[in-house]
Chains A and B, each alone.
Chain A
Amino acid sequence: MAITPPSQRIWWKEPIAKIELIWIAIAFTWGLFMFFMMIYWHGAGEQNLSNEAYKTTAQQYARKAQAVIDEYTVRQENGFPVVRPPEGSDVYLIARLWQWWPILELEKDKSYRLHLSSMDWQHGFSLQPVNINVQVHPGYDMVVTVRPDQAGEYGIVCNEFCGIGHHNMVGKIYVVE
């Protein structure tokens, strides 16, 4: 029994039942398949993180973000600037207690280099309802190239706990035709 020492002292020389061997082979093969599937998707799939990231500081990042906001703000909404950057440009989103700043307006089927960093604690960039979730750290500037493929109004929820105002931290991205 499993709670007593093995009854055959030389248990490592016992043959293995065929059904166990078959299952081990299937499970091992499936594991290999799942492993290579991740690599395959880097070539064939369209949803991959580039892992492009830089060390930064809150001041440095805020300065870059402000420059883009100053240049491309098209209107104000609820006290937030709405920024409409050109295609292919670097777009900065600031995560801070408890805001996603500014509101972005992007064009459908155009690519943007979206930068994410936090001014204070960790935050979670959770774009809804598409459900894209990326962690946002202070001191790190992470670049995700996004190509919105459907027009509409998207919410950015914070999904990393960041204190008592966490549940009020909502941002917005517009995708226009």
Chain B
Amino acid sequence: MANSAVFRTCPTTGLKVDRSAESLIKANAVAAVVFLAVGGLFGLLVALTRWPAVHFLPADWFYLALTAHGLDVLLVWIIFFEMAVLYFASAVLLNSRLAGPKWAWTGFGMMLVGAIITNIAVLRGQSSVMFTSYVPMMAESSFYLGIILFAVGALIGCFVFFGTLVVAKQEKTYQGSIPLVTFGALTAAIIAVFTIASGAIILIPTWLYSLGIVKYIDPLVYKTIWWGMGHSSQQINVSAHVAVWYAIAAMVFGAKPLSEKVSRMAFLMYILFLQLASAHHMLVEPGFSSEWKIFNTSYAMYLAVLGSMVHGMTVPGSIEAAQRARGLTKGLFEWLRKAPWSNPAFAGMFMSLVFFGFIGGISGVVMGTEQINLIMHNTLYVPGHFHGTVVAGTTLAFMAITYLLVPLIFRRELKFRKLAQWQPYVFGIGVAGISLFMMGAGTLGVARRHWDMTFADAQLPFDYPATAFLMMGLNGMFAVLAALGGVMFVVIVVGSVFFGKKLAPDEKPSYPEVPPSAAAVGHYGSSDTLKIPGTAMLVGIFFIAFVLYYFVNWKYLSEIWPLS
């Protein structure tokens, strides 16, 4: 087979890197970071407006900024970065050429053009419909067209990824099964296809509706299918960032999965069940039976949650096993205490793991309980939850692996290392605060997507409790902290990519410190010798927190008016 791909050999890993895959990873990562910066700025404006003492933007600008924030970070930043992850996990990790680089560039171009079209539509001010754009409220037709183009571009990227797996298999660029990280990326890509199909099914008719060609779209049907895209796209993130956790554990510690079988089964649970999550948004809607709600909202008896809980043990467990094999065996937590906390790749990854589990994960399951949703639906609890999953989880994990990708893929030494050392903490703690205080305000009933919690211009008066105002003030302060962490990230990445010291072709990066991959440790499958008591303790603490918080919310629910 004719093969015109040009390769270089990576001095750190010894892998062959397809130059076109490398360029595509760079392009997608740069586009991702640009939209992260734009979307993050809008997010800061939103948080400053919801800070009662600041109340920064006027109402129309607030709703515009909130629409742009959701679009640019939840969709554009994350999907662009995921394209980079897909190309990395296929071509680079499998030692293969990329299938159809021209197709990949076409997809990239469509995503970029689509993202710009929709951003322009939002900035023109006639499309402040929120990211969800629930019918019958309508945006300009170019708003939908841009998203459709973006989605089709992403779909092409997924197929380039699938094609690369086929090419690598045929050309025997690796031995045996694909690596676990690639398997996780495959999970993400499969869910992405489902997600994008759902998006096409509902957004194409909505686009035609905005042009007057289609006459009616049922709001319930719209919402059910839209969330087939909207929630499933967050499951792409989960799969991708779990793959990133495994990748960082491997790259920083040489950690092996405790058991390939268990970790892969956990990913399989995502493929089979995560798509049911559209129901999380339909728990207090008319027109659905409780049977439908219970089955779907629980991902068929919580089997996808089981997947996440398994990863929650196997990721730190593999790190513990690797550290213990290096001799850090004292007590329960020497392995963790002596982990490289000043390495931003590790610090970001570990905080992502903890926050995703404790904040995003627990709150998601609790809120997704059919009846408990009654006391949380559309309050600020909802964005509190998903800032725990998507920002503290996905974004922080993606930032963490960027610190490894800049030297390996961009071939530049990382600049501003002191800043990089602090960045994950500033951003992570900021986002954890945002999540917790929004959840707190939501528990007190404060509405999401709302400009004025004082109701100053309403015909009838209503006052939220004073504690709710305190929560929103704290939320604003932590948002400033998170924004600072975001700025630090952009400065470090842009500074390094454009001004970092160029690495010679055979030169290994000096930072962040990565042990030689030959020192891979941890003997998976060794059911007799495996000892991970520290991880068992952490998982036990997580489980107790989960159970307690679950029952506290049933207690809250039991105190509201009887409903039937």
Interface residues of A (CB under 8 A from B): 1-9, 11-12, 14-20, 23-24, 26-28, 30-32, 34-35, 37-39, 41-42, 45-51, 53, 78-80, 99, 103, 120-122, 124, 126-135, 137-142, 144-150, 155, 157-164, 166-172
Q: Is B136 a contact partner of A120 (Cβ separation < 8 A)? A: yes
- Chain B, 526-564, CB within 8 A of any chain A CB: 526-527, 530, 532, 535-536, 539, 543, 546-547, 550, 554, 557-558, 560-564
Q: Are A140 and B305 in contact (CB under 8 A)?
A: no
13 contacts between A and B (CB under 8 A): A1-B517, A4-B93, A6-B177, A17-B259, A23-B309, A31-B298, A49-B374, A53-B287, A120-B136, A132-B374, A135-B285, A161-B129, A166-B63
**Does B26 lie at the interface of the complex (its beta carbon under 8 Å from any beta carbon of A)?**
no
Note all chain A residues with C-beta closer than 8 A to B249.
2
Q: Mark B246-265, 1 if CB is under 8 A from A, else 0.
A: 11011100111111111100
A168 adjacent to B457 (CB under 8 Å): yes
Number of interface residues of B (CB under 8 A): 109
B510 at the interface (CB under 8 A from A): no
Asked whether B181 lies within 8 Å of A3 as measured between CB atoms, the reply is yes
Chain A neighbourhood of B11, CB < 8 A: none
Taking a contact as CB atoms under 8 Å apart, the answer to whether B136 and A51 are in contact is no
Chain A residues with Cβ below 8 Å from B220 are: 137, 140
Q: Known: A5-B178, A6-B176, A38-B294. Is A47-B371 also a contact (CB below 8 A)?
A: yes
Contact of B458 among A8, A141, A169 (CB under 8 A): A169
Q: What's the A-B contact tally at a CB cutoff of 8 Å?
A: 310
Kindly report which residue of chain A lies nearest to residue B284, judged by CB atoms: A134
Identify the B interface with A (CB < 8 A): 59-60, 63, 93, 128-130, 134, 136-137, 174-181, 218-220, 246-247, 249-251, 254-263, 284-290, 294, 298, 301-303, 305-306, 309-310, 313-314, 317-318, 365, 369-371, 373-379, 443-445, 447-452, 455, 457-465, 517, 520, 524-527, 530, 532, 535-536, 539, 543, 546-547, 550, 554, 557-558, 560-564
Q: In the complex, are the beta carbons of A14 and B286 less than 8 A apart?
A: no
Given A35-B302, A145-B563, A149-B561, do A135 and B60 touch, yes or no (CB 8 Å)? no
Minimum Cβ distance to chain A for residue B413 (Å): 22
Q: Which residue of B lies closest to A163 (CB)?
A: B137
What A residues does B459 contact at CB under 8 A?
78-80, 99, 168, 170
Contacts of A160 in B (CB 8 A): 134, 378, 449
Known: A9-B177, A38-B298, A155-B462. A47 touches B558 (CB 8 A): yes
Contact of B377 among A19, A37, A133 (CB under 8 A): A133
Query: Given the complex, which residues of B lie within 8 Å of A15, measured CB to CB?
Result: 525, 527
Of all chain B residues, the one with the shortest Cβ separation from A3 is B250
B180-A78 in contact (CB<8A): no
B residues in contact with A137, CB < 8 Å? 219-220, 285-286
Residue of A nearest to B535 (CB): A19
Determine the chain B residues whose CB is within 8 A of the CB of A133 once the complex forms.
Answer: 284, 373-379
Closest chain-B Cβ to A26's Cβ sits at a distance in Å of 7
Contact present for B374 and A11 (CB under 8 Å): no
Chain A residues with Cβ below 8 Å from B289 are: 51
> Does B455 lie within 8 Å of A2, measured CB to CB?
no
Chief secondary structure at chain B's binding surface: loop
Give the shortest distance, in Å, between A68 (CB) and chain B (any CB).
19
Given contacts A128-B464, A132-B375, contact A47 B369 (CB under 8 A): no
Max count, chain B CB within 10 A of own CB: residue among A1, A23, A99: A1
Residues A166 and B449 in contact, CB atoms below 8 Å apart: yes
The interface residues of chain B lying within 8 Å CB-to-CB of A34 are 298, 302, 365, 369, 550
Bound-complex Cα distance A62 to B43 (A): 39
Cα distance A18–B259 in the bound complex, in angstroms: 11
Instruction: Report the minimal beta-carbon distance from A140 to chain B, rounded to whole angstroms.
Output: 4
CA A138 to CA B218, docked complex, whole Å: 9
User: Closest chain A residue to B178 by CB distance?
Assistant: A5
Cross-chain contact A172 with B460 (CB below 8 angstroms): yes
Given contacts A137-B285, A138-B219, contact A20 B179 (CB under 8 A): no
- CB-defined contacts of A135 to chain B, threshold 8 Å: 284-286, 377-378
Beyond known contacts A140-B287, A157-B447: 8 more, CB 8 A cutoff: A1-B179, A3-B179, A4-B179, A30-B546, A122-B219, A133-B375, A147-B561, A159-B377
* Complex contacts, A159 vs chain B, CB 8 Å: 377-379, 447-450
A139 and B134 CA atoms in complex are apart in Å by 14
Known: A2-B179, A170-B460. A128 touches B219 (CB 8 A): no
